[in-house]
Amino acid sequence: MTLTTTSEDIKLSAIIPMYNAGAMFRNFMDSLVAQTLNSLEIIIVNDGSTDGSDQIAQEYAERYPHIRVITQTNGGVSRARNSGLDIARGQYVTFPDADDIIYPDMYKTLIDMCEQDDLDAAQCNGERYFVGSEKVKPIIPTDRLTSTGLLDGATWLKTALATNRYLHVVWLGVYRLELIKKKGLYFEPGLHHQDIPWTTEFMFNARRVKYTQEVLYRYYIHGQSISNQKRTGMKNAEYQKHYLKIAKMLDELNERYKDQVKIYSEFPRQVTREALTVCHSIRREPDPAAQKAMIEDIYTSGTRRIMLKNARGLKQWWQLLLWLKRLHSLRKKLA
């Protein structure tokens, strides 16, 4: 593969936040350098790694001229992605996770889609790989969604959310860097699952988007991932605050963009869905003190009002009213 080196020729910048990437990192990097796209720059943002993965990243940078490594003190995924955005030179950007696997034609497929239709974003399907059982499942089954034609971003997001299988993740797509810079679409520092509000706001600004049902990315499900760690007690209570903040951010985005894009019912429904995630966590939490803390967070953050405002459909209304009753009773019991 011949790789270009001038910024005018770089079609895609892959920005990889890296913090203690572990044993999967070499496999990930091998899949990244095997990409058939011949105009790719790779930016690895070493976010204060202490497990030696920074040395592995430097090894690859010395072998491949299209790889750059920058190092910063540990500040989290959002700050690492923002640092990469600041120096990215590609026409499009993407954000793969350092413990996953990318199929060889992923980025060529998506960039070809972008060039054919002058897209703001192109997204593909992926698969979940469960490390323990070695089972593989598509993220969006084709009986839920197949490849689309040209859509505006809001219509694509509505279509994707309607499947009830869509993941608000940035690693399944490529995104026009000029649009990101023009609209100031940076990631929220310190927020877990920051992909959710970011992808939402990006799509509210995108005018040309397409999706392919082709599976081009393997997402590994294992206990080391921040998203898949099991939490209990006050650590869980602190973690659930991120979902409450996300619900608030999504509600604010719907309000801010309501005069610019059509706010489909799927958008407010997503707000309540994210907040109800905390309710389900309260039910599973074995520590009464943590349960009490999470309930108080719901009450003091205004989340009850946000959920009531955004609930859509009989099923979600039933779930919400049932949970509000449960929370009221449990709050009295734990007082």
Q: Does 3 score more than 90 pLDDT?
A: no
The identity of residue 43, as a single letter, is I
| pLDDT score for 333 | 96
- At residue 222 the predicted structure's pLDDT band, cuts being 50, 70 and 90, is confident
User: What number is the average pLDDT over the span 71-97?
Assistant: 97
Burial 255-293 (b: 16+ CB within 10 A, else e): eebeeebebbebbbbbbbbbbbbbbebbeebeeeebbbb
Q: Does 194 score more than 60 pLDDT?
A: yes
| pLDDT score for 159 | 98
Give whichever of 18-27, 88-97, 229-238 has the largest mean pLDDT: 88-97
Q: How far apart are alpha carbons 63 and 187 in whole angstroms?
A: 30
Q: Does 183 score more than 60 pLDDT?
A: yes
Express each pLDDT in 255-270 by its tens digit.
999 999 999 999 999 9
Q: Residue 199's closest CA among 145, 155, 157, 240?
A: 157
Q: How far apart are alpha carbons 89 and 6 in whole angstroms?
A: 9
| pLDDT score for 132 | 84
Residue 26: its H or E element = helix 25-33
| pLDDT score for 133 | 87
What DSSP designation does 230 have?
A: -
Q: Which CATH number is 7-227 given? A: 3.90.550.10
| pLDDT score for 6 | 45
User: What number is the average pLDDT over the span 194-223?
Assistant: 95
| pLDDT score for 152 | 98
- At residue 4 the predicted structure's pLDDT band, cuts being 50, 70 and 90, is very low
**Where along the chain do its domains lie?**
7-227, 230-334
Q: Does 32 score more than 90 pLDDT?
A: yes
Q: How far apart are alpha carbons 321 and 311 in whole angstroms?
A: 10
User: What number is the average pLDDT over the span 13-18?
Assistant: 98
Q: Does 85 score more than 70 pLDDT?
A: yes
Q: How far apart are alpha carbons 297 and 290 in whole angstroms?
A: 11
Largest CA distance in the chain: 67
User: What number is the average pLDDT over the span 3-25?
Assistant: 83
| pLDDT score for 56 | 96
Q: Does 149 score more than 60 pLDDT?
A: yes
Express each pLDDT in 278-319 by its tens digit.
999 999 999 999 999 999 999 999 999 999 999 999 999 999
Q: Does 134 score more than 70 pLDDT?
A: yes
| pLDDT score for 223 | 61
Express each pLDDT in 94-104 by its tens digit.
999 999 999 99
3-state secondary structure of 213: strand
Q: Are 54 and 18 in contact (CB under 8 A)?
A: yes
Q: How far apart are alpha carbons 232 and 284 in whole angstroms?
A: 9
